[in-house]
Amino acid sequence: MKKFFRFSALIITGLLLSLPSHAKDYLYDFDYGALIYVSAGKDVCKNLNVQVQADLWLNDNFKGYERFMPSATLTYTVIPKYLKAMVYYAYFNQEGKSGKKDVHQHRYQVGLTGSYATPHLNFSLCSKFEQTHKDGIPNNKWRNQLKITGTIAKENPWKPFVSVEIFEAMNSMNPTGTVGIERIRYEAGTNYAVNKLISLEMKLRAERLTIKKQLYSSVGIGVKFNL
């Protein structure tokens, strides 16, 4: 397991170091943070699953509050094993630039996820439209994520994964004030099934804003309950 995380860290570091030379000039802005989350999911009827989750994000080298974000997701299986549709809502209380923890936002998402599985690998592509409201102003994004999950063996509780996600700003109400690719997010981690009801997730996240030229890195730890 240690080898996996070392390998993941090397991959993410390599991706960051492979940025264009002009991007490396602002590596002093590189910030470390943490993602802590708890989720619970349940099949409410055939092909329909509901999941609720609560996230706490830390930044400023693990010392600062970034946001608290409860959310709910409905997922409908359109074609078993191949296609799912989802709707998502989240409220989050985020720390603003002034340091006040009173930036209240509402986020909505709708999307589709296509999957293809082999005996040892699962490939998924999620494409979703996202709208975030702050003070009644919509911030629209189109997000596309490619994720690869490995199955070491049928009864093995470890499931490592890697993913890359592209955020495309659809209007100028985002923090960069521009339209186009806003950020790219890389993740590498693993899920560990404690039993049929409880699983743990550990991951590393590296993220860069392509226009504001800022880099972030986070460690994520989560607990999932399958009810």
Amino acid 209: pLDDT: 79
Least confidently predicted of 13-22, 81-90, 210-219 = 13-22
pLDDT band at 176 (very low <50, low <70, confident <90, very high): low
Tokens linked to 38: 């708890």
- Residue pLDDT, tens place only, 151-172: 999 889 999 999 999 999 988 6
| 14 — pLDDT class (breaks 50, 70, 90) | low
3-state secondary structure 14-75: HHHHCCCHHHHCCHHHCEEEEEEEEEEEEEEECCEEEEEEEEEEEECCCCEEEEEEEEEEEE
Rounded CA-CA distance 75/51 in Å is 8
Mean predicted confidence (pLDDT) in 190-212: 91
pLDDT of residue 20: 46
Mean pLDDT of the chain: 85
What is the amino acid identity at position 166?
I
pTM over the 0.85 mark: no
Provide the terminal-to-terminal Cα distance of the chain, rounded to the nearest Å. Answer: 27
Q: Tell me 196's DSSP state.
A: S
Nearest CA to 218 out of 10, 93, 61, 99 is that of 61
What does the pLDDT read at residue 24? 44
pLDDT tens sequence across 45-103: 999 999 999 999 998 878 888 889 999 999 999 999 999 999 999 998 887 655 555 67
Instruction: Quote the percentage of the chain above a pLDDT of 70.
Output: 80
Q: What is the pLDDT of residue 222?
A: 97
Torsions phi, psi for 15 (to 5 deg):
-65, -40
In this prediction, residues 179-204 reach a mean pLDDT of 94
User: Does residue 5 surpass a pLDDT of 90?
Assistant: no
Is the pLDDT score of 104 beyond 70? yes
Residue 96, token pair as written in the block: 């603003």
- Please list the helix, strand and coil fractions of the chain in percent, rounded to the nearest 5, in that order: 10, 65, 25
Quote the CA–CA distance of 198 and 191 in Å, as a whole number: 10
Give residue 25's pLDDT.
45
pLDDT at 137 over 90: no
Domain limits, the chain: 2-226
What is the C-alpha separation between 189 and 12, in angstroms, rounded? 11
Which alpha helices (H) appear in the chain, and where do they start and end?
A: 2-17, 21-24
- Thinking of the domain 2-226, which architecture would CATH place it in? Beta Barrel (2.40)
Question: Measured between alpha carbons, how far is 89 from 50 in angstroms, rounded to an integer?
Answer: 12
